[in-house]
Amino acid sequence: MTGPLNITSIRVRVLSPPEGSLKAVCSVTIDEAFVIRDLKVVANDKGTFIAMPSRRVSDRCPQCAAKNSISARYCNDCGTRLPQRRPTLDRSGRPRLYVDLVHPISSECRVHLQAAILQAYTAECASMGEQVEAGASGEAPHPQPAPESPPGTPTATSSGAT
Ligand SMILES: [Zn+2]
């Protein structure tokens, strides 16, 4: 293996318009054999980075067994008041409402993966920009004729002068 991950393909879907800080959703193929979907490109005032596929932390209603977010106070399904739960806190002391489904365990791997995805994201944005420019210049050769002298006007003017 040449790098921490042998990334053989990256597919980027740039969101247009972006959904807040969420700019794109990607899937990454490892070794032409294993696909990770739903990686996200996020940009905010701290920079542009990737977010791992994640799921909401949930548990089940004691009354009807429906799944609810760990932060929900009432069951979405039956409305029962849910017991007070204590979501685990992340490093900055906020409740952890999402958990990563896959994630790199070495910083080398994280850096490698993020660099590859951001490169693909930048390339995709650039190619979208070119398409937009090509479309705009494609309309330029077909300007509408200026409606200043319609065919009937000279007749009307001459009859009026006569
Ligand atoms: Zn319920």
Q: Is residue 60 part of a domain?
A: yes
pLDDT at residue 13, rounded to an integer: 96
CA of 87 to the centre of ligand 1 (A): 19
Any idea what DSSP says for residue 27? Answer: E
Q: Which of 17-31, 67-81, 87-101 has the lowest mean pLDDT?
A: 87-101
CA of 71 to the centre of ligand 1 (A): 14
CA of 138 to the centre of ligand 1 (A): 57
Collapse the DSSP code of 159 into the 3-class scheme (helix H, G, I; strand E, B; otherwise coil) and give the result: helix
CA of 83 to the centre of ligand 1 (A): 11
CATH code, domain with 115 = 3.30.1120.40
Q: Is residue 145 part of a domain?
A: no
CA of 93 to the centre of ligand 1 (A): 29
- Cβ neighbours of 56 (radius 10 Å): 12
Confidence of residue 161 (pLDDT cuts 50, 70, 90): very low
17 preceded by a cis bond (ω within 30 of 0): yes
CA of 82 to the centre of ligand 1 (A): 8
Number of domains in the chain: 2
Q: Is residue 134 part of a domain?
A: no
Can you give the residue range of the structural domain that contains 84?
Answer: 56-96
Smallest Cα–Cα separation from 28: which of 42, 7, 53? 7
Instruction: In whole angstroms, give the CA distance from residue 68 to residue 57.
Output: 8
Whether the predicted pLDDT of 159 surpasses 70: no
Q: Is residue 106 part of a domain?
A: yes
Contact 28, 35 (CB under 8 A): yes
Q: Average the pLDDT over 125-142 and give the result.
A: 65
CA of 59 to the centre of ligand 1 (A): 11
Residues 85 and 107 in one domain: no
pLDDT at residue 1, rounded to an integer: 46
Residues 91 and 112 in one domain: no
CA angle 90, 96, 102 (to 5 degrees): 95
CA of 78 to the centre of ligand 1 (A): 4
CA of 90 to the centre of ligand 1 (A): 27
Q: Is residue 85 part of a domain?
A: yes
What CA–CA distances, in Å, run from 162 to 123, 149, 154, 157, 158? Answer: 67, 20, 12, 9, 6
Residues 26 and 89 in one domain: no
CA angle 30, 124, 111 (to 5 degrees): 45
- Cβ neighbours of 40 (radius 10 Å): 19
pTM to 2 decimal places: 0.67
Q: Is residue 160 part of a domain?
A: no
